Structure 1
Amino acid sequence: MCRMARPRKPLLSRDRIVETAGALVDAEGLEALSTRRLAAALGVSGPSLYNHFRTKDEILDAVADAVSARVDLSVFEDGRDWREALHDWAVSYRRALADHPNIVPVLARGPGRRPAGLRVADAVFGAMTDAGWPPAQATRIGALMRYFVMGSALGSFAQGFVDDRAAYDPADYPHLGQAHLLAERGQEIDEGAFETGLRALLDGLSVQYETLVGD
């Protein structure tokens, strides 16, 4: 009797589920993800997902953690000054979130038990305390940076304006005469705004550092 050979690779894996779920969220938003929709995209039955994840929320946590895992933490390990390291980490962090903005609301809840998210928090806190920041202030810096980076990734300032000059009647909005041009320069404006804010934030922290830590 001839038996069918088993597939070389299992039909389903955690990584494949997370990758497919992440693609759905990226394309259509959090509301688009359901276990039924995900199973259909994977070509499997719904119950088979529960061999890897107990709930949809666990899948979303895994998708969020996969994004956190893309953040470059090596900047805290190569001897850079704390300010330079924090700057470069924030740029990497924002890039990861900007590539997957629809998952940011899940990340904004905090790391919870997510391993990659916890590694991010641990790396920032450790780098700040190693640089001499008091632990309480290092905690505040970690929170501050998370607020700033996540807020910048939630949406585009420039893309919030339409490209119709008539929408901004100077009689009503005397200072928005060029607002219809913002959308076409969206990436440049948004990245410039992030860099301006980040450097202003770091300038302020540097003043505090001299007061609290000194040489």
Structure 2
Amino acid sequence: MLYKIGKTICWFIFKPLYRIRVIGKQNVPKSGPVIICSNHISNFDPPVVGLTCPRDIHFMAKEELFHNKVIGSILRKVHAFPVKRGMKDRQALRDGLQVLKDNHTLGLFPEGTRSKSGELQRGLAGTGFFALRSKATVIPCAIIGEYEPLKPLRVIYGEPVELEDLRNQNASPQEVVDRIMDEIQKLINLHK
């Protein structure tokens, strides 16, 4: 319930403020496990992807945010779960796989942190792990523009990333995330 309320509030704030235009929402499957993989240029990216996606998204959020009881409680109610950055976090991996096992949508920023330059950075292998272990549909997403009032911001959802050949070849998680990042870069190049 809080997710839907938050999404509605964010939509009425962010849409006119950043003149958000959404392209390719039809590429997000209506059911089954889905991983949304987006570039990461701002702290506002999670709410913007969350409000533009046609499905509710479960995001990983850095563990430090959950140390505050109020913020942690709100984050959990909007489907976020903690991840320890800079190390292997087995609990976060289990939580993410459970989201997909339950046929929900997992939102990931494969770069792991915001890009200071705005240029797409190399993705981390954890995203490839989720794609390989879950066999979820992976949707690339590109956020293009700057978070400046009244300047247009575009959120583009691409077609599902073809990963079956990599799965059949027992590719590494890094090889999988490299392909996903290539697809995000193609969206950025196409819509600049």
TM-score, normalised with respect to structure 2: 0.31
Choose 1 or 2 for highest CA Rg. 1
Larger fraction in helix: 1
TM-score, normalised with respect to structure 1: 0.28
Q: Indicate the structure whose relative CO is greater, using CA pairs within 8 Å and at least 6 residues apart.
A: 2
